[in-house]
Amino acid sequence: MLSRLVARPSRRIVGLTLAFTAAAAMLSGCVRARADLTVSGDFKVSGTMVAATVPTSPADHGPQLSIPSDLGEDVVLQPYAADGYVGTQLSFSNMEFDQFTTLVGGSSAASGNYQLLLRRVGDLVYFTGSVDLRTVPADHADVQLRITFPADVASSTGTVDEDTVTWTPRPGSVTSLSATSDLSTLATAAWMRWSVLVAALLIGTVGVISVLALRAHRRSLRVRRR
C-alpha cells in the first residue's frame, strides 16, 4: 500500500535525506542510492529518490524511512524492490526550491554526507551540492543523481545529455555537484514561436486579401467589356 505524505515547510521529511545516507551509515556494501529530479519552467522541482540495499535475510526489507505524522499528499512513500535491492522510494512534485532544500536537509546527521541545493537568481537556476561516499566501499555500490532542466545547461560538473545532467559519485570519495540553466531562453523561444505564428498569419491574410482583390478586379473587367 502506498502512503501519500507531504511535509509542512517547517517540518520537512527527515527520511528524504536518509535515503542518501542509509548506505554510508548502516552498511558495508551492496547499496543503491538514486535521485532523479526535474525542474519545471515555473521554477519548481519534482522527482524521486531511492535508498535500497541487498537484503541479508528474508526479513531484511532494506532502509525504512520515517515520515512525520502531520502530513498531506505531495510526497509519496512506498516500498522499493528491483534488481535484488530492497528499500524505500520517495516521490514528490511541484515543490518550491526552498522547500526542496529544507526537505533534503531535514536531518542534521546527514548534512555531512549529502548536500543538495536549488536556487534561482533571476532567470538562472543553480543546482549545487556534494556527495560524500568516503565511508562506502566500492563493491556493489550503485549511486547516481540526475537532474533535468527545461532549458539548455549553461555549465555543469556532471555528464550533460541535452537538458539533463548526470553524476555517478564514486565510493570512497567526495563528489562536487554543480549545474546552471538559463530559463530566459524559454521566453526567447516562446517569443520566436509567437513571432513566426504572427508572421504566418499575416502572410496568410495578405495572400487571401490579394486573391480576393484579384478576383474582384477580374469581375470588374468582365463587366466593363460587356
pLDDT in tens, 70-89: 444 677 889 999 999 999 99
Number of domains in the chain: 2
**For position 17, what pLDDT does the model report?**
46
**What range does the domain containing 207 cover?**
184-226
- Tell how strand 153-156 and strand 159-161 pair up: unpaired
> Is residue 99 domain-shared with residue 193, that is, in the same domain?
no
> Is residue 131 domain-shared with residue 194, that is, in the same domain?
no
> Is residue 75 domain-shared with residue 30, that is, in the same domain?
yes
> Is residue 197 domain-shared with residue 120, that is, in the same domain?
no
C-alpha cell at 21: 545516507
Produce one character per residue of 161-199: b if its CB has 16 or more CB atoms within 10 Å, e if not.
Answer: eeebbbbebebeeebebebbbbbeebeeeeeeeeeeeee
Q: Residue 172: is its pLDDT beyond 50?
A: yes
Query: pLDDT by residue (tens digit) across 23-68?
Result: 444 444 588 889 999 999 999 999 998 989 989 899 999 988 655 4
Q: What is the mean pLDDT of residues 156-164?
A: 96
Residue 214: which pLDDT band, with cuts at 50, 70 and 90?
low
> Is residue 100 domain-shared with residue 190, that is, in the same domain?
no
> Is residue 111 domain-shared with residue 218, that is, in the same domain?
no
